[in-house]
Amino acid sequence: MWAVRSFTMQQMGRMAGLGRAAPAATRGFAKKAAKGDETFEVEITTPFEGHKLDEMPDQKVETTKAEVLGFFKDLFRMRRMEISADILYKGKFIRGFCHLYDGQEAICVGMEASINYEDAIVTSYRDHCTYLGRGGNMYEVIAELLGRRDGCSKGIGGSMHMYLRENNFYGGNGIVGAQVPLGVGIAFQQKYNKKENCTFTMYGDGAANQGQGFEALNMAALWDLPVVYVCENNHFGMGTAEWRGSKQPAFYKRGDYVPGIKVDGMDVFAVKKAVAFAKDYVIKHGPLIMEMDTYRYHGHSMSDPGSTYRTRDEVSGIRSQRDPIERVRKLIQTMELATTAELKAIEKAARKEVEDAIAKAKECPEPPEEWLTKNIYSAAPHGFRTVRGTERGSLHPAS
Q: Which residues contact 397 (CB under 8 A, 6 or more apart)?
A: 370, 373, 385, 386, 387
Higher pLDDT, 131 or 8: 131
For helices 340-363 and 65-90, what crossing angle results, to 10°?
40
Question: For residue range 76-100, what is the model confidence (pLDDT) as tens digits?
Answer: 999 999 999 999 999 999 999 999 9
CA atoms within 13 A of residue 33's CA, in its CB half-sphere: 25
- Using CA atoms, how far apart are residues 146 and 95, in angstroms rounded to an integer? 8
Phi, psi of 321 (to 5 degrees): -105, -30
pLDDT at 12: 35
The secondary structure of 37-69 as a DSSP string is T-EEEEE--SPPEEES-S----SEEEEEHHHHH
CB 258 within 8 A of CB 288: yes
Task: Grade residue 1 by pLDDT with cuts at 50, 70 and 90.
Answer: very low
Question: For residue range 101-127, what is the model confidence (pLDDT) as tens digits?
Answer: 899 999 999 999 999 999 999 999 999
CB 56 within 8 A of CB 281: no
- Using CA atoms, how far apart are residues 179 and 217, in angstroms rounded to an integer? 13
CB 73 within 8 A of CB 346: yes
Higher pLDDT, 253 or 3: 253
pLDDT at 283: 98
The secondary structure of 288-304 as a DSSP string is EEEEEE---SS-SSTT-
Q: What is the pTM of this model?
A: 0.87
- Using CA atoms, how far apart are residues 24 and 328, in angstroms rounded to an integer? 17
Taking phi over 0 as left and psi of -120 to 50 as alpha, with beta for the rest, 385 belongs to: alpha
pLDDT at 72: 98
Q: Dihedral of CA 64/66/72/76: which sign?
A: negative
Task: Order the strands of the 199-204 sheet from edge to edge.
Answer: 49-51, 260-264, 288-293, 227-233, 199-204, 120-122
Whole-number Cα distances in Å, 332 to 15, 24, 340: 27, 21, 9
CB 127 within 8 A of CB 202: no
Question: For residue range 188-221, what is the model confidence (pLDDT) as tens digits?
Answer: 999 999 999 999 999 999 899 999 999 999 999 9
Rounded to 10 degrees, what is the CA torsion of 271, 273, 275, 277? -150
> Which secondary-structure segment (H or E) carries 75?
helix 65-90
- Using CA atoms, how far apart are residues 399 and 387, in angstroms rounded to an integer? 9
DSSP single-letter state for residue 392: T
Question: For residue range 66-77, what is the model confidence (pLDDT) as tens digits?
Answer: 999 999 999 999
